[in-house]
Amino acid sequence: MAYKGDDLLEEVTNKDYEYGFVTDIESDLAPVGLNASIIRLISQKKNEPEWLLEWRLKSFELWQKMTEPEWAHIQYPRPDFQSFHYYAAPKQKKNPKSLDEVDPELLKTFDKLGISLDEQKKLTGVAVDIVVDSVSVATTFKAKLAELGIIFCSFSEAVQEHPQLVQKYLGTVVPRSDNFYAALNSAVFTDGSFCYIPKGVRCPMELSTYFRINEAKTGQFERTLVIADEDSYVSYLEGCTAPMRDENQLHAAVVELIALDGAEIKYSTVQNWYPGDDEGKGGVYNFVTKRGICHNRSTISWTQVETGSAITWKYPSCILKGDHAVGEFFSVALTNKLQQADTGTKMIHIGKNTKSTIISKGISAGKSQNSYRGLVKIGKNAENARNFSQCDSLLMGDRCGAHTFPYIEVENPSAQVEHEATTSKIGEDQIFYCNQRGIDTEKAISLIVNGYAKEVLNKLPMEFAVEAQKLLAISLEGSVG
């Protein structure tokens, strides 16, 4: 098939979402709606200590006084927060001890997602925690990690088994009052992943969480807490999928990272929530608060490949509190059809000699809107702070939009802040050049886009990088301009 701009633009709409199946398993649902008694029900179902219930109720109180943020470059009908189920758990035997106890239907789901737990176990050496709807259903490799003193488990389990760690760190990076969605999450989160790396330990394998929304009309509110104790290292991966639905599904997660002195956390996300149909119906609304705090000489790297969701509202950030702390943000955000993404980062320099790097690669196709929003703030005491930001946008066709909103606040004159931005279009020239060498248009686009995003993809762990490349290709099938 030869390349012809307009025809191919039309074809954008023919691309289907590969992961849009529903798993037929019974689930345990809370009644629709949100009030204090639902929160008590969640807390009780999870057998939580009193302090956590109080924490949730206080969050709920705060949330009720807040309003949804309006400043992002996104448009959507405001969700009716009373119309969701705030608790949905796949019904199965409590806390499976091994894979044999996990519901076979659920295992089939993982197969379709291309993540056979068995395979994961044998081949890749990646420890996986899987969250379906709101509940964590399986964590592999736990025993092996435990030998090193590493804790990697569901959030609920951490509340039961390691309450002092949870209580010490929960809400310290993202306070309950931080924003509307964070407050909501703090009130109603049902599960998520927890990870603790002890002093001086290098976690020998990638830790991975897969999130999947399955039940209709559920909100998914995971809570992730990663604590890297002094001089430790961990690489953490997060993958997301959801089935196709007619109604928009709400996803509002909170991720908190704590890197103590000399620690390093790499946090990678491949987000592929259902983006909605051609009219934008049914996609996931993804309102996520991700933030890390870096103590002395520590590093936090956020790497994200965002291809899904109808709406993405997400700013993984670093508070560079300690001296010589390093914050990094590497992002590829692809939007197609009617998707809207407003994503970026905040780098808050507080300590001396702190350093941050931002590489953002936006790709817009179809009629989508793709915005980068970033804040670099250099505090009064942040002597010799340095930042480098590069924000590139790639446009496919002329019906999409790319926007860049960089905010820079500098309160210390010794700071060096550099910002570069480019906008380019995939050229017919480039595609024809590939065609002339025997490469068809779809492959050509995939090649060009992966080349454009290479700097970021290179930051991902190997097996994720391959997946991300495929995802970019799939998400762009047929789109060009």
Partner 1 sequence: MLSIKGLKAEIEGKEILSGIDLEVKAGEIHAIMGPNGSGKSTLASVLAGREEYEVTGGSVTYKGKDLLEMAAEDRAREGVFLAFQYPVEIPGVSNINFLKTALNEIRTSKGLEPITAKDFLARVRERSALVELDTKLKNRSVNEGFSGGEKKRNEIFQMAMLEPSLSVLDETDSGLDIDALRIVANGVNQLKNETNATIVVTHYQRLLDYIIPDFVHVLYQGRIVRSGPKELAMELEEKGYDWIKEENGETVDV
Summarize as ranges the residues that interact with partner 1 (CB under 8 A).
1-4, 427-430, 432-441, 443, 447-448, 450-455
Instruction: Please say which residue, 177 or 435, places its beta carbon nearer to partner 1.
Output: 435
Amino acid residing at 296? N
Q: State whether the Cα torsion 14-18-20-21 is positive or negative.
A: positive
426: how many CB neighbours lie within 10 A of its CB?
Answer: 22
- Provide the 10 A C-beta neighbour count for residue 125: 13
Q: Which is nearer to partner 1, 327 or 362 (CB)?
A: 362
Minimum distance between the CB of residue 425 and partner 1, rounded to whole angstroms? 13
| Beta carbon of residue 447, minimum distance to partner 1 (angstroms, whole number) | 6
Least gap, CB of 193 to partner 1 (angstroms): 33
- What's the closest the beta carbon of residue 454 comes to partner 1, in angstroms? 4
Minimum distance from residue 432 beta carbon to partner 1 (Å): 6
Rounded-to-integer distance, Cα 213 and Cα 369, Å: 24
Q: Which is nearer to partner 1, 145 or 448 (CB)?
A: 448
Residue with Cβ nearer partner 1 (225 or 448): 448
* Phi/psi at 186 (5° precision): -60, -30
Q: Judged by CB, which is closer to partner 1: 91, or 443?
A: 443
Closest CA to 360 of 343, 375, 348: 343
Degrees, nearest 5: CA angle 331-333-339: 160
> Helix-strand-coil percent breakdown of the chain, rounded to 5?
25, 35, 40
Of 160 and 390, the one with the shorter C-beta distance to partner 1 is: 390
Residues 428, 238: Cα–Cα separation, whole Å: 35
- For 220-236, the three-class secondary structure string (H helix, E strand, C coil) is ECEEEEEEECCCCEEEE
**If you search the block for the tokens 């802040």, which residue do you land on?**
417
Closest approach, Cβ 455 to partner 1, in A, equals 7
Of 111, 468, 74, the closest CA to residue 271 belongs to 468
- Name the minimum Å distance from CB 426 to partner 1: 10
Nearer CB in complex with partner 1: 256/442? 442
Q: Residue 272 or 450: which CB sits closer to partner 1?
A: 450
Minimal distance in Å, beta carbon 436 to partner 1? 5
In the bound complex, what is the minimum distance in angstroms from residue 357's beta carbon to partner 1? 18
Nearer to partner 1, 167 or 430 (CB): 430
Residue 100: is it exposed, middle or buried by C-beta count within 10 angstroms (0-12/13-18/19+)? exposed
CB 212 within 8 A of CB 113: yes
How far apart CA 452 and CA 43 sit, in angstroms, is 46
* DSSP states of 55-118: HHHHHHHHHHT------SS---PPP-TTSSBS-EEE--SSS-SSGGGS-HHHHHHHHHTT--HH
Q: Which residues pair with 380 in a beta bridge?
A: none
- Decide whether 4 or 168 has the Cβ nearer to partner 1: 4
**Distance from C-alpha of 472 to C-alpha of 270, rounded to nearest angstrom:** 10
Nearer to partner 1, 311 or 465 (CB): 465
* CB 109 to partner 1: min, Å: 33
Query: CB of residue 370 vs partner 1: minimum separation in angstroms?
Result: 19
